[in-house]
Amino acid sequence: MRLKPYLALLPMLALGACSSGDYLLFHPINAIATQEWHATIVDTVVMTLIILPVLLAIAFFGWRYRKSANAAYDPDWSHNTVLELLVWGVPFVVVAGLGLYSVKTIYAVEPYQPGLLQKQVNADPQSVLNVDVINTDWQWVFVYPAQHIATIDELEVPQGSVVRMRLTSTSVSNDIYIPQLAPMIAVMPGMRTRDSFDAPVLGEYTGFGADFSGAGFSWMQFATHVVSQADFNAWVQQAAASPNQLSYAAFQKVAQPHANIGAKVSYFSNADPLLFDEVIAAAQAGVVYPVSAELTKSIGSNEK
């Protein structure tokens, strides 16, 4: 019988597996994600410093003053001015400290203009890569306005760059998220939001939509490649050679609701550099891409 409470702790062992690479948030790649991970650690440590003693005290009192123990019993003790000042004071101090820390970190990682990246942007404006991200039902369109190319479900950026994304949606809201690189930020129709990240380490990182956007939502992953500048240039050349072009008219076909099963990548040459603004203007003017009930029922279903 006595063992039962300890059995409850068994699942905690699961956390022992945390060192593996599966825990994406424990393995940030760039300055932004590292700062966010540090904030997670700082907050957890500070809160544990107060919560753990409370937990232990509750466990200790609960055991020490159980009825069968015949411990000291004080049936009227219910007030102590010093203690009551302390129970307000201790949380107040903790919250004041964490509050200050929180505000400081917000400015550091602020997705519109991260304080952490400001120095690099100022020193080397050439390293900024602008990408326009358009969320459709249900895929991601990345437009590189300076390079005049666009892709579906692939984001490729050169190592050492600061990527600044403008975000919007043709239809419904979503979030964009690349766990090891870019903070989660809402993507909304008729509106522009921003997200930024730096790309110091070569590799492939998964990004995906994080806020439910309808039947095809679970298929909305995209690959993020951080490559060398030379590889990036070659990749741009390859995309620019694509026979598919992306004007606003051509975009209408892309924007029709459908799931991109398997997140197959497409490239477009001659992408309209103003496509992003045209999509926002259209959404504000009331353009929608309706999802029929039949489509909702058939996506992800074998019964077509």
* Region 180-199 residues binding another protein, contact defined as CB under 8 A: 183-186, 188-191, 193-194
Q: Is the peptide bond before 77 cis (omega within 30 degrees of 0)?
A: no
What is the Cα–Cα distance from 174 to 2, expressed in whole angstroms?
49
| Interactions with another protein, residue window 100-119 (CB under 8 A) | 101-103, 105-112
Min separation Cβ 249 and another protein, Å: 19
Q: Does 283 bind another protein (CB under 8 A)?
A: yes
Please identify, among the stretches 10-18, 156-164, 244-252, 265-273, the one whose residues bind another protein according to the rule CB under 8 A.
10-18
What is the Cα–Cα distance from 294 to 282, expressed in whole angstroms?
25
| Lookup result for tokens 């930020």 | 185
Q: Does 122 bind another protein (CB under 8 A)?
A: no
User: Whose CA is closest to 235, among 163, 178, 158?
Assistant: 158
Q: Does 58 bind another protein (CB under 8 A)?
A: yes
- Binding mask 222-241 toward another protein (x if CB under 8 A, else -) reads --------------------
| Interactions with another protein, residue window 155-184 (CB under 8 A) | 171-173, 175, 177, 179, 183-184
CB 142 within 8 A of CB 151: yes
Task: Compute how many residues bind another protein; rule: CB under 8 A.
Answer: 119
Min separation Cβ 234 and another protein, Å: 28
For residue 261, the 8-state DSSP code is T
Residues in the chain: 304
- Binding mask 14-53 toward another protein (x if CB under 8 A, else -) reads xx-xx---xxxxx------x-xxx-xx--xx--xx-xx--
Q: Does 2 bind another protein (CB under 8 A)?
A: no
Q: Does 216 bind another protein (CB under 8 A)?
A: yes
Among 2, 11, 249, 253, binds another protein (CB under 8 A): 11
Pick left, alpha or beta for residue 70 (phi over 0 → left; psi -120 to 50 → alpha; otherwise beta): left
CB 232 within 8 A of CB 158: yes
How many angstroms from the chain centroid is the CA of residue 58? 36
Among 19, 61, 203, 256, binds another protein (CB under 8 A): 61
User: Whose CA is closest to 296, among 259, 251, 243, 255?
Assistant: 259
Q: Does 273 bind another protein (CB under 8 A)?
A: no
Among 19, 99, 201, 202, binds another protein (CB under 8 A): 99
Q: Does 211 bind another protein (CB under 8 A)?
A: yes
Q: Does 248 bind another protein (CB under 8 A)?
A: no
Q: Does 289 bind another protein (CB under 8 A)?
A: yes
Cα 239 to Cα 148, 178, 226, 236, 244, distances in angstroms: 9, 23, 16, 5, 9
Cα 20 to Cα 14, 17, 25, 208, distances in angstroms: 12, 6, 11, 21
